């Protein structure tokens, strides 16, 4: 009888309208604390330490002071920021134009085009990075050098020079993520009332005027979302560069990113304290840039009543 009463009490507690919301939210809270809060606190602590096999030694701000003088880290930051800026230039307007074009009546077999553009995102980064490394090989057998040879041009060491290496990296990025961003913009276009375009047609608006004064303003929430995730993705890029150069040993560190430098220090050289400081700097930089763009785009602006 006592077990039955306890079971009934537990059932009433679970199905209570007051406790049920907390029960449903509890798994998220636990996973957030275990997989985000705890690692974050551990990283902050380790960034002030020198981690050794026998234990940890408290070193204060020396890891951060070392970062200020670390030229390789500065280059990794420049590489990541440049990659982020270039990907924003490419992966915002072009996927938006693709989405507008596919959403219009000018394109047939829309499902086929969506699938074709989205399939690269399903490809493993390891496989795609390896394929692009072979495509941009410095030897004459490389695909891009074969194209140059067809036009009578000499072979190029694509991955050993800044302009050509970033061309390969950006081409890999656009090949993988154009379809993903296009789907984001397509979902935003579906929320725009068709009556607005009909009204614009009645007023004699051109296709460009409809795109500028109807489509773009009403796509602003989607644009801000894609911009936010693209900033973070650009700064946190690692595996694409790692596979394109078959590791962190690119010539003159032209392919080294912030996360790649974190991996080199933390995993390859077992300097976890210094790597933790690098990771926290990356987090702060990403937060500052994203907060600045959210404020600039008016996301935090209070609505007027």
pLDDT in tens, 232-277: 889 989 888 999 988 888 888 888 999 999 998 888 888 888 899 9
The verdict on 98 and 32 lying in the same domain is no
3-state SS assignment for residue 57: strand
| pLDDT attached to residue 5 | 52
Residues β-bridged to residue 51: 56
DSSP string for residues in 166-229? HHHHHHHHHHHHHHHHHHHHHHHHTTS-HHHHHHHHHTT--HHHHIIIIIHHHTHHHHHHHHHH
Answer whether residue 51 is part of any domain.
no
pTM passes above 0.95: no
The verdict on 86 and 29 lying in the same domain is no
- Give the Cα separation of 128 and 166 in Å (integer): 16
What percentage of the chain has pLDDT greater than the value 90? 21
Instruction: Extract the tokens encoding 24.
Output: 């449903």
Arithmetic mean of pLDDT, 13-33: 79
Answer whether residue 305 is part of any domain.
no
Q: For the segment 146-174, what is each residue's pLDDT rounded down to a tens digit?
A: 999 988 888 888 888 888 998 999 999 98
| pLDDT attached to residue 13 | 63
Instruction: Extract the tokens encoding 68.
Output: 């200020």
- Going by pLDDT thresholds of 50, 70 and 90, the confidence category of residue 74 is very high
The verdict on 33 and 135 lying in the same domain is no
- Going by pLDDT thresholds of 50, 70 and 90, the confidence category of residue 109 is confident
| pLDDT attached to residue 18 | 73
Answer whether residue 260 is part of any domain.
yes
Residue labelled with tokens 């096999």: 53
Answer whether residue 140 is part of any domain.
yes
The verdict on 120 and 18 lying in the same domain is no
The verdict on 265 and 207 lying in the same domain is yes
Q: Which CATH number is 103's domain given?
A: 1.10.3720.10
The verdict on 8 and 154 lying in the same domain is no
Instruction: Extract the tokens encoding 84.
Output: 């982020």
Half-sphere exposure of 227 (CA within 13 A, CB side): 18
| pLDDT attached to residue 304 | 47
Instruction: Extract the tokens encoding 36.
Output: 């985000």
Residue labelled with tokens 């959210």: 294
Task: Categorise residue 204: left if φ over 0, alpha if ψ from -120 to 50, beta otherwise.
Answer: left
Number of independent structural domains in the chain: 2
Estimate the share of the chain in helix, then strand, then coil, as percent rounded to the nearest 5. 75, 5, 25
The verdict on 90 and 178 lying in the same domain is yes
Q: Do 78 and 140 contact (CB within 8 A), yes or no?
A: no
Which residues span the domain enclosing 30? 2-46
């Amino acid at each position: 009888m006592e077990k039955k009463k306890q079971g009934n009490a537990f059932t009433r507690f679970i199905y209570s309208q007051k406790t049920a919301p907390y029960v449903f939210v509890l798994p998220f809270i636990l996973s957030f604390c275990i997989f985000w809060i705890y690692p974050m606190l551990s990283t902050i602590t380790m960034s002030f330490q020198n981690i050794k096999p026998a234990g940890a030694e408290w070193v204060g701000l020396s890891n951060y002071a070392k970062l200020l003088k670390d030229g390789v880290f500065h280059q990794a930051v420049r590489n990541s920021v440049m990659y982020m800026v270039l990907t924003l230039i490419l992966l915002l307007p072009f996927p938006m134009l693709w989405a507008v074009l596919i959403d219009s009546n000018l394109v047939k077999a829309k499902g086929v085009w969506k699938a074709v553009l989205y399939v690269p995102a399903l490809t493993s980064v390891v496989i795609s990075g390896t394929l692009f490394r072979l495509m941009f090989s410095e030897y004459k057998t490389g695909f891009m050098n074969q194209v140059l040879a067809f036009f009578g041009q000499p072979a190029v060491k694509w991955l050993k020079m800044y302009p050509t290496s970033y061309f390969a990296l950006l081409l890999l990025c656009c090949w993988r993520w154009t379809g993903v961003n296009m789907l984001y913009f397509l979902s935003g276009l579906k929320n725009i009332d068709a009556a607005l375009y009909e009204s614009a047609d009645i007023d004699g608006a051109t296709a460009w005027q409809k795109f500028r004064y109807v489509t773009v303003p009403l796509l602003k929430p989607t644009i801000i979302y894609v911009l936010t995730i693209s900033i973070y993705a650009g700064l946190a890029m690692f595996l694409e560069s790692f596979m394109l150069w078959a590791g962190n040993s690119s010539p003159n560190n032209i392919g080294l990113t912030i996360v790649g430098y974190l991996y080199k220090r933390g995993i390859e050289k077992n300097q976890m304290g210094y790597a933790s400081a690098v990771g926290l700097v990356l987090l702060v930089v990403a937060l500052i840039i994203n907060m600045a763009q959210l404020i600039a785009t008016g996301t935090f602006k209070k609505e007027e009543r």
